[in-house]
Amino acid sequence: MAEPLLALDDIRAGYGDAVVLDGVSLDIPPHGSLAVLGRNGVGKSTLLLTIMGFTDLRRGTIRWQGKDITRMSSFRRARAGIGWVPQERDIFATLSVEENLTVAARPGHWTLQTVYALFPRLEERRANMGNQLSGGEQQMLTIARTLMTNPDLLLLDEPLEGLAPIVAEELSAAIVQMSAGERIALVLVEQHAEIALSLTDSAIVIERGAIAHSGPSKALLDDHEVLDRYIGLKLAE
């Protein structure tokens, strides 16, 4: 089997004395996509923060492209190709859309041209300042900026939160397009379980800091009992 892009082994992590994740192991294959589901406060964001090295890691190892990065700084993880899009929209308010994008650029597939093809709205708004954008456009810009760093893995923390349904659809379509090219792997933390499962190959459900379920996203979409038990999502039979 090919080496996983990212492998977490028996992770225990949290903040100071508070342990949030315990015994978490997972593999992400190159170009794979993983949905991270679970109720509020179970540790989904903490999982992404741990991958980036922003939490207190008590046990376990993290390997990236076969190399142990457990003790690597967050900055170096980002440089090594792990792109993180936090929940808070992270753009420069007083720079234009285009400046926001070029300031982050590193060589690779994602350039102004390919990013604008993915988010045509950003091309229309290229001369607007960050603070003149709608919430949806800011979210697109946050993702596009991270893409411009040409990461091998993109960690997305609730990208659809607070967006109008039509904008959420537009962003979902961009996420599908982005991962279809097999250029990037994806970890998607999302409250909208049905959408997250439709955008990914595999899924985990976190419950009280541990992985309560893992498997193909398609199978989980059909497993109404698990969705109801762990996420409180009631789907019609």
Ligand X SMILES: Nc1ncnc2c1ncn2[C@@H]1O[C@H](COP(=O)(O)OP(=O)(O)OP(=O)(O)O)[C@@H](O)[C@H]1O
In this structure, what are the phi and psi dihedrals at residue 156, rounded to the nearest 5 degrees?
A: -110, 120
CA distance linking residue 90 with residue 54, whole number of Å: 17
Alpha helix (H) residue ranges in 74-183: 74-79, 97-104, 112-118, 120-124, 135-147, 165-180
Stretch that binds ligand X, among 12-20, 119-127, 174-182, 225-233 (CB under 6 A): 12-20
Q: Give 148 or 160: the residue with its C-beta nearer to ligand X.
A: 160
Residue from 20, 118, 167, 186 touching ligand X (CB under 6 A): that is 20
Q: Give 42 or 175: the residue with its C-beta nearer to ligand X.
A: 42
Interaction between residue 18 and ligand X (CB under 6 A):
yes
- Provide the minimum distance between the beta carbon of 49 and ligand X in the complex, in angstroms, as a whole number: 7
Site string for ligand X, 27-56 (x = CB under 6 A): -----------x-xxxxxxx----------
Q: Give 24 or 122: the residue with its C-beta nearer to ligand X.
A: 24
- Provide the minimum distance between the beta carbon of 96 and ligand X in the complex, in angstroms, as a whole number: 31
In the sheet that holds 33-37, the strands lie side by side as: 82-85, 153-157, 185-189, 33-37, 202-207, 210-216
Q: Give 40 or 113: the residue with its C-beta nearer to ligand X.
A: 40
Question: Under 8 Å CB-to-CB from 108, ≥6 apart: which residues?
Answer: 150
Q: Give 14 or 81: the residue with its C-beta nearer to ligand X.
A: 14
Q: CA of 132: how far to CAs of 93, 94, 98, 125, in Å?
A: 8, 9, 13, 9
Q: Is 155 helix (H, G, I), strand (E, B) or coil?
A: strand
- Provide the minimum distance between the beta carbon of 67 and ligand X in the complex, in angstroms, as a whole number: 26
- Provide the minimum distance between the beta carbon of 188 and ligand X in the complex, in angstroms, as a whole number: 12
Interaction between residue 15 and ligand X (CB under 6 A):
yes
Q: Point out which residues pair with 89 in neighbouring strands.
A: none
CA distance linking residue 63 with residue 155, whole number of Å: 16
- Provide the minimum distance between the beta carbon of 234 and ligand X in the complex, in angstroms, as a whole number: 19
Q: Give 14 or 32: the residue with its C-beta nearer to ligand X.
A: 14
- Provide the minimum distance between the beta carbon of 46 and ligand X in the complex, in angstroms, as a whole number: 3
Q: Point out which residues pair with 19 in neighbouring strands.
A: 14
Beta strand pairing status for 67-68 and 56-64?
antiparallel
Residues that bind ligand X (CB under 6 A): 15, 18, 20, 38, 40-46
